[in-house]
Chain A
Amino acid sequence: MIKLKAVLALTLGCLLTLSVQAVEVRDHHKEVIGKDCKTCHDNGIKQFPSDQSCLQCHDVDDLAEQTARNEEDKWQNPHNNLHYGKELPCQECHGEHQPKQPMCNNCHTFKFDKHKQ
Chain B
Amino acid sequence: MKDANLLGRRNFIKGMGAAAGVAIAAPAMAISEKADGVKWDKEVEVLIIGSGFAGLAAAIEASRKGAKDVHIFEKMSYFGGNSAINGGLFAAPGTPMQKQEGVKDSVDRMVADQMKSGRGVADEALLRHVAEHAVEALQMTMDAGSEFHPYLQQLGGHSVARTYQTTVSCGAGITQPLLNECRKLGVHTHNRAKFEGFLVGDKGEIVGVKMRENYHFGEDQPGKISHIRAKRGVIMATGGFAQNINLRMAQDPTLTAEVGCTNAPGATGEGMYEMFRLGAIPVHLAHIQSGPWASPDEGGFGYVSNYTIYNFPHSLAIHRLTGKRFMNEIADRKTRADAELSCRDEKGEALPPILITSYKDSKKHPNTKKVIKYNVGWKFDTIEELAKHFEVPLKPLKAQIEEYNSYVKSGDDKQFGKNMTKAKDKFIEAPFTVVRLWPKVHYCQGGVQITTKAEVKDSFTGQPISGLYAAGEVCGGIHGVSRLGSCSIPECMVMGMTAARSVMQA
Contact = CB atoms under 8 A, between A and B. Distances in A.
A pairs with B: yes
Contacts of B79: 84, 87
Contacts, number: 65
17 contacts: A43-B214, A47-B214, A48-B216, A48-B221, A82-B168, A83-B170, A83-B172, A84-B78, A84-B172, A85-B176, A87-B78, A89-B77, A91-B216, A105-B299, A107-B298, A108-B298, A108-B300
A3 B138 CA distance: 73
B162 interface: no
Interface stretch (B369-377, B400-408, B451-459): B369-377
Which secondary structure dominates chain B's binding surface?
Answer: loop
Which secondary structure dominates chain A's binding surface?
Answer: loop
A104 to B, nearest CB: 10
A108 B170 contact: no
Contact of B80 (A48, A84, A92, A106): A84
A83 B176 CA distance: 8
Contacts of A107: 85, 298-302
Contact of B219 (A48, A72, A82): A48
Contacts of A50: 214
A106 B300 contact: yes
A109 interface: yes
Nearest to A85: B176
Contacts of A110: 374
Contact of B77 (A43, A51, A75, A105): A51
Contacts of A109: 297-298, 374-376
Contacts of A43: 214
Contacts of A68: none
A82 B167 CA distance: 11
Contacts of A47: 214, 221-223
B137 interface: no
The interface size bin for chain A is 20 to 34
Contacts of B78: 83-84, 87-89, 92
Contacts of B84: 83-84
A72 B369 contact: yes
Nearest to A103: B78
Nearest to A89: B77
Nearest to A109: B374
A28 interface: no
Interface in B271-304: 297-303
Interface in B356-398: 369, 374-376
B264 to A, nearest CB: 9
Nearest to B168: A82
Interface string A88-100: 1101100000000
B265 A106 contact: yes
Nearest to A88: B78
A91 B223 CA distance: 16
A14 B375 CA distance: 44
